[in-house]
Chains A and B, each alone.
Chain A
Amino acid sequence: MNELSEKVLGGKQGALHLAILAVLLLVILPLCLDLFRLGLIGKYVTYAFVAISLVLLWGNGGILSLGQGMFFGLGGYCMAMFLKLEASDPISTKIQTTPGLPDFMDWNQIVELPWFWEPFKSLPLTLLLVLVVPVLLAFIIGMAMFTRRVGGVYFSIITQAIALILSILIVGQQGYTGGVNGITDLKTLSGWDIRTDSAKYCLYFMNAGLLILCIMLSRFILTSKFGMLLLAMRDKEERVRFSGYDVARFKIFIFCVAAMISAIGGAMFTLQIGFMSPSFVGIVPSIEMVIFAAVGGRMSLIGAVYGTLLVNFGKTIFSETYPELWLFLMGGLFIAVVMFFPDGLAGIYEKYAPHCSFSMLRARWLKKVPKVTGERQ
């Protein structure tokens, strides 16, 4: 048991960092911010799920998926479909020609609920599908690509194309998916109104709690033997293969886990924000989510969360005041992170900060070892 907690928390230092993050998300931010700002943080936290999944997949596995937005979106859409069906009961939609159907179906002259909407009438099935649908898609993609040893940039380009396909499909099939507006006007979750203040607080805490659970799950994966293999595959894939490991299977597994974590984020997004739209599915959001992970540190689970919060906070502030400047900044961020800080915030932190624990400082003082200064790069 002790060993398990060690693995989940990642040692003393890991536990400390996780605790700081938990206190920040669960105590400090809710106390300091009003509900509107807290809602924004909640939204960023849902993106952080994707950033974590990219740390697993990209930082540790060397697989850069440019389609994580697709899994985020699928999770979100599954949730949204359930909420939409609940919101369009026959009484509240009685002005439509076909009461009981979601409003956008009515606008598009669809008179019967399409078959793939049927499972979303039940909550347990929906919660299952939120996880199963993205994982299934990831499994199919992974099966097709990794077993044929497609990797590196080809994988990135093809996942990007699949994300594009999915977003065009959602926009094009307006009658079945709500089109470019997405699925809006979501009201209740099994009778619980998600638009009230108390529900918003409740969902925020649920969201942050789930994020911390996901970090612990990812930590567990990374500190296990599998995590070592993942790193080995990233650096010397051939050697791992020649040692008798089935590289493709490991890659498929981590891709599926990453898809699942992203999907949880998507579902929480829908619950908190109250809608889901194709603008979270396509190429642009998928790449933006990569930059969240990159800014935070592609190797660091907790760094990725801070990266997400920071970039999005910057985005909100800048796009409110200087919308033209934001794209410059975002583009510059991509270039700067890649060229000068490949390990992101976590890399900078690890370089300069953690050697400052008291005993180490004293030892350094006694031995007169020159201190690491912050000026050098």
Chain B
Amino acid sequence: MFGYTLEEVGNIVVMQGFSGLSLFSVLLLMALGLAIIFGQMGVINMAHGEFMTVGAYTTVFLSKLAVEYDFVKSYFVFAIIAAFIVAFILGYVIEYVMIRHLYKRPLDTLLATWGLSLVMQQIFRSTFGAKEVSAELPEWLLGSFQPTEGIDIPINGVFVMGLALVVTVSVYLFMFRSRGGLRVRATMQNRIMAGAVGINTKQVDRVTFALGCGIAGVAGAAFTTIASTGPTTGSLYIVDSFMVVVFGGAASLMGTIASAFGIAQAQSLLQFFMTSSMGKVATLMTIVIILMMRPEGLFAAKVRK
């Protein structure tokens, strides 16, 4: 096969699979935020990628501080929390200023948030410069370990995946096992009834949107461990993340996880055996064709409206 021996192909599959896992983790984190904003609220947030970039820049900024004040070993945990908080607050403000006026016009939200993403990109460029910057990573994140001969597994990839899993479980617990999540689901399913039983639906909207943005911020923090950050980093992931959410079935958490895994793995494997652009084309094409045949996505039963 392609001039490789069977064993080599096996190793390549495992290693590409692991590099696919890093992509999977970032995509999953991005898509989780989107699944909340888009799947629950029906808002198209084209600036979601920029919220990820906000998280990434927060991490980079903290890493600079960490180098200066010498706490490189432990700063990353704080960076994740800080990335979440910064993106959360920003999302909260944006919802208040912009999104809440547009709930009845989903197509217009799409355009307005696209405008927002342009503005945010330019703000990044003006403040942090057009060049890509990377965070100073603590030593325990660097390097790789070798379970067998011929297979290298990078530690940062494993870490990022762990982070993605923790966030996924937390989102699940929040959405389906807590009072807050109950309020969110009640509001999204029947706003009037939810209001009637005493839920402050506007407050719920704001927190839900901010939460989605906060998770994108965490995605940004995770992203800094595997690549460097530039002003347009987020926009590279936005279409992929939307495809993940749509492909998985917008309101389904399981669907989001499964489709993030499928898309990331397919892309990563295909990119090894074809050129990187053709791998991406093949993946996206497959998704689009499947979506054309099964528009409701993998894990949902409702007809799209």
Contact = CB atoms under 8 A, between A and B. Distances in A.
Q: Do A and B bind each other?
A: yes
Which of B102, B118, B122, B246 has its CB near the most chain A CB atoms (within 10 A)? B118
B112 A145 contact: no
Interface in A57-100: 58, 62, 64
Contact of A144 (B102, B114, B122, B292): B292
Contacts of A148: 292, 295
Given A324-B125, A334-B114, A338-B108, A152 B305 contact: yes
B169 interface: no
B123 to A, nearest CB: 8
A284 B287 CA distance: 21
B107 interface: yes
A150 interface: yes
A294 B112 CA distance: 11
Interface in B65-123: 98, 101-102, 105-112, 114-122
Contacts of B114: 287, 334
B285 interface: yes
A284 to B, nearest CB: 9
Contacts, number: 123
B101 A153 contact: no
Nearest to A284: B235
A156 B125 CA distance: 28
B304 A164 contact: no
Given A161-B287, A162-B288, A333-B115, A328 B106 contact: no
Contacts of B144: none
Interface of B is mostly: helix
Interface stretch (A43-51, A126-134, A165-173): A165-173
B146 interface: no
Contacts of B107: 58, 62, 64, 152-153, 156
Nearest to A291: B111
Interface stretch (B18-26, B54-62, B156-164, B273-281): B273-281
A290 interface: yes
Interface string A114-158: 000000000000000000000000000100110011111110111
B119 A158 contact: no
B273 to A, nearest CB: 15
Contact of B246 (A151, A157, A168): A157
Contacts of B112: 334-335, 338-339
Contacts of B305: 149, 151-152
A83 B277 CA distance: 27
A327 B284 CA distance: 28
B251 to A, nearest CB: 13
A162 B284 CA distance: 8
Interface string A313-343: 0000000000010011011111101110010
A150 B302 CA distance: 11
Given A154-B295, A168-B277, A328 B119 contact: yes
Task: Categorize the interface residue count of chain B.
Answer: 35 or more
B298 interface: no
A218 interface: no
Contact of B115 (A150, A153, A169, A331): A331
Contact of A150 (B44, B102, B242, B295): B295
Contact of B288 (A158, A169, A290, A335): A158
B126 interface: yes
Interface string A159-185: 011101100110110000000000000
Interface of A is mostly: helix
Interface in A242-296: 283, 287, 290-291, 294
B102 to A, nearest CB: 7
Task: Categorize the interface residue count of chain A.
Answer: 35 or more
A226 B109 CA distance: 28
A104 B78 CA distance: 51
Given A172-B277, A335-B112, A339-B98, A154 B288 contact: no
A7 B215 CA distance: 53
B207 interface: no
Contacts of A161: 239, 242-243, 284, 287-288
Nearest to A159: B288
A283 B118 CA distance: 13
Contact of A331 (B116, B284, B295, B304): B116
Nearest to B283: A165
B122 A328 contact: yes
Interface string B287-305: 1100111010000000111
Contacts of A164: 239, 284
B119 A327 contact: yes
B288 A330 contact: no
A154 B246 contact: yes
B281 A172 contact: yes
Contacts of A156: 44, 107, 110
B32 to A, nearest CB: 17
Nearest to B239: A164
B112 to A, nearest CB: 4
Contacts of B281: 165, 168-169, 172
Given A165-B288, A339-B98, 5 more contacts: A153-B110, A160-B239, A331-B119, A335-B98, A338-B102
9 contacts: A158-B291, A161-B243, A161-B288, A291-B115, A294-B111, A330-B118, A333-B115, A334-B116, A335-B98
Top 10 nearest A-B pairs (CB, nearest first) are A334-B115, A172-B277, A331-B118, A331-B119, A144-B292, A327-B122, A331-B115, A338-B112, A335-B115, A150-B295
Interface of B: 42, 44, 98, 101-102, 105-112, 114-122, 125-126, 239, 242-243, 246, 275, 277-278, 280-281, 284-285, 287-288, 291-293, 295, 303-305
Interface of A: 58, 62, 64, 141, 144-145, 148-154, 156-158, 160-162, 164-165, 168-169, 171-172, 283, 287, 290-291, 294, 324, 327-328, 330-335, 337-339, 342
